[in-house]
Structure 1
């Protein structure tokens, strides 16, 4: 049976753990707000890129895309997870979804090339026996998103140049509502022709159309790269928000369990302390009675 001192030590340890969990909850909630703000800010940038693409497409740049045959060649896949743990099934969920998607998109494994963002997701991929060509560190804050995006773009360019890969998909978790995440797939390349046609059909928001002096095809290529950058930035930011939402849910569950355990220990501590006090009082009473009896003799 634990002593009062042992219980006091356990209560102190769990109190400290509860403080750590509360701090992690706060950090996760703050991170979610930062990532959601980054996504909102990106929407204005993406809209500007789309307007530039619309101008060039209306002036014939779309022929570049229309003339390219639809590729059914090798597949490049980017699976986005996390480096940090304590986020529930966040990584398991996206890896399970990605493996199923890869088999569906390209049944022949030798024609698939995969990179993983996040060591935790890579661990689950390795356990499944899937081949992974590279691992990129997952961003842990908004400032780390741009370096991760640039690393992914470099890999995609290398795939295209050295392996002839023209199909690229992104698998990631997306925060839906509250702390609920859902894995999704983004077909990054080839460019979605339906979306480009939709850009052309949009009414121009003004009376004056901007002009440009750069070579049309060169400008189109630069805008496409920026469009890919914006898409990857958004996916990474949404994944980070989902990661922190999963971590927040895990910390809420941990806080509840810790609270229940702390309540049990405090109850046992009070019972033992009351028992010890009662024994001391009984000893005092017994000693007093003994002294009284001796005095009467």
Structure 2
């Protein structure tokens, strides 16, 4: 069905407005991702400082006794998104959490970041213990990390017996443009890391010293490790969320550009058809007028000229 120029013009204007919105969202994704990427990189330096403090602590206290308590509670923290326009970000992570739950024998407690992530987990049949609001800025990442640390302390206090394992589920960057869901063990502390710190010599002419009780200092270092790890996971989740939104907006922009090219081609075709029709109408009208004149000239009676005698003088 041939579309009118007016209809095509309205559709083209509407598509150009959509393209403007998509381009704006793509630009915002790039702008928003940069501060979170810087935060994820900067928290790494803080975590290195915490690890160095743990190394100094172990060099003076000596090897830690291995924990003989069995894991009786498993806590998994899922970092989702509430901002939308990032595809099936929450759904993919929810299915990943289901796989981790199926591989865990201990009781499973889920802490969720984001209401949309909570809905995605509930659709997979997972009950949520607590839902936290995702950070809206870089400053909110520290707030969220503190809230999660406090909540983990409360859960640890409610554990009657045994140890508590904590893992983080979030999207992590893979390569230049890829991302994948990952699971990071937070507690108990990595035995390989502790073993490396215990056997590594302290390289300095000054020996570390501390005045706090060893138990309090160790707990403070563990809390610092928890905070840095939670902060990094939240920042990485926000970076990958904006990367997913950017990829989706790039596909949408390409789709809109293809649609605009199609509408412009249709507009040119319809305009050319209308111009051709108008020219044909002019030509047909001219030919009809010409034939009418020729027909009138054929049927017109001849004109006779009379000679008048010249008067005699």
TM over 0.5: yes
Q: Is the 8 A contact 1:61 1:217 kept in 2?
A: no
Say which structure is richer in helix. 1
Instruction: Provide structure 1 residue ranges, at least 5 long, that are not aligned to the other structure.
Output: none
Q: Is the 8 A contact 2:62 2:198 kept in 1?
A: no
Q: Does the C-alpha gap of structure 1 residues 129 and 223 become closer, same or farther in structure 2, counting only changes over 3 Å? A: same
Q: Is the 8 A contact 1:61 1:216 kept in 2?
A: no
- Larger Rg computed on CA atoms: 2
What is the deviation of 1:173?
1.1
Q: Does the C-alpha gap of structure 1 residues 291 and 87 become closer, same or farther in structure 2, counting only changes over 3 Å? A: same
SS in 2 for 1:75: strand
Q: In the alignment, does 2:93 pair up with 1:75?
A: no
Find the aligned partners of 1:217 and 1:62 in 2 and give their Cα distance.
Answer: 14
Q: 1:125 aligns with which of 121, 124, 131?
A: 121
Find the aligned partners of 1:51 and 1:236 in 2 and give their Cα distance.
Answer: 23
Q: In the alignment, does 2:151 pair up with 1:155?
A: yes
Q: Is the 8 A contact 2:94 2:124 kept in 1?
A: no
Alignment of 1:19-30 (within 5 A): 19-30=20-31
What is the deviation of 1:135?
1.2
Q: In the alignment, does 2:46 pair up with 1:50?
A: no
| Residue number in structure 1 paired with 2:133 | 137
Superposition TM-score, scaled by structure 2 size: 0.85
Q: Is the 8 A contact 1:79 1:170 kept in 2?
A: yes
Matched positions, count: 292
Provide the aligned C-alpha RMSD in A. Answer: 2.2
| Residue number in structure 2 paired with 1:223 | 221
SS in 2 for 1:73: strand
SS in 2 for 1:78: strand
| Residue number in structure 2 paired with 1:213 | 211
Q: For each residue in 1:121-171, what CA deviation from the matched residue of structure 2 results, as whole angstroms up to 9, or x when unmatched?
A: 212111112111121122243222112212222221221112446111111
Q: For each residue in 1:64-107, what CA deviation from the matched residue of structure 2 results, as whole angstroms up to 9, or x when unmatched?
A: xx25324320211111111122222322221111111112123x
Q: 1:115 aligns with which of 111, 132, 149?
A: 111
SS in 1 for 2:72: coil
Alignment of 1:256-275 (within 5 A): 256-275=254-273
